[in-house]
Amino acid sequence: MKASKTSKQWMREHVNDPYVQQAQKDGYRSRAAYKLLEIDERDHLIKPGMVVVDLGATPGGWCQVVANRLGANGRIIALDLLPLNPLPRVEFIQGDFREDSVLAQLEEKLEGRQIGLVISDMAPNISGVSSADQARAMHLAELALDFAVEHLAPGGSFLVKVFQGVGFEDYLKLMRSNFAKVVARKPKASRDRSSEQYLVGLGKLE
């Protein structure tokens, strides 16, 4: 099957992407690692010794950043529908984080410790129909927010990828009703043509 013009262009851009090249040098599984690194430098989300949950963690670039910054007493628990190749100091649960059986596994791993940070870099598979893609992306962001509100310790933080478009303003209001402070970030590693943004919720309200 012949590659489309769009897929060829994407591959060319991907191969020449300086963040892709840097990730290969630094041993990160994805260029997304640099987005989290920049946001954490600014907002100080990852603190030594805390418990972090990564929703939609595969391939694991964000997990690597978190594990490197948590220290010996911190824990990161990664969840994804897709398998995750093992990573040092990362505990993985494969399944849908909305399902009771998956949440039971998470509770077991937590051993009574509270979650200090929930992170989500989830995005849907792109269909090319912008209205449908936006709706699916916002739905994933809403699911991540529901999880964070339900499971975060009071005062905890939440980082989520969203896309500018229909539903964004309503989502922003919802985050502001659950966190003391909400800020938007567009890290340098986020491509200019992408409508993605990252929302940081600080200080989860009780």
User: DSSP states of 118-138 as a string?
Assistant: EEE---PPP-S-HHHHHHHHH
Q: At which residue do the structure tokens 């929703």 appear?
A: 55
Is 62 labelled a binding residue?
yes
> How far, in Å, are 54, 156, 165, 171, 199 from residue 159 at the CA level?
10, 11, 19, 13, 6
Strands 115-120 and 152-163 come out as parallel
Is 116 labelled a binding residue?
no
Who contacts 175 (Cβ-Cβ below 8 Å, separation ≥6)? 145, 158, 182, 199, 201
Is 96 labelled a binding residue?
yes
Is 100 labelled a binding residue?
no
Q: At which residue do the structure tokens 């963040």 appear?
A: 19
Who contacts 39 (Cβ-Cβ below 8 Å, separation ≥6)? 45, 159, 185, 187, 198, 200
- The amino acid at residue 53 is V
Which residues belong to the active site?
Answer: 161
Is 17 within 8 Å of 171 (Cβ atoms)?
no
Is 10 labelled a binding residue?
no
- Rg of the chain's alpha carbons, rounded to an integer? 17
Structure tokens belonging to residue 199: 């929302």
- The amino acid at residue 43 is D
Binding-site annotation: residue ranges for S-adenosyl-L-methionine? 60, 62, 80, 96, 121
Binding-site annotation: residue ranges? 60, 62, 80, 96, 121
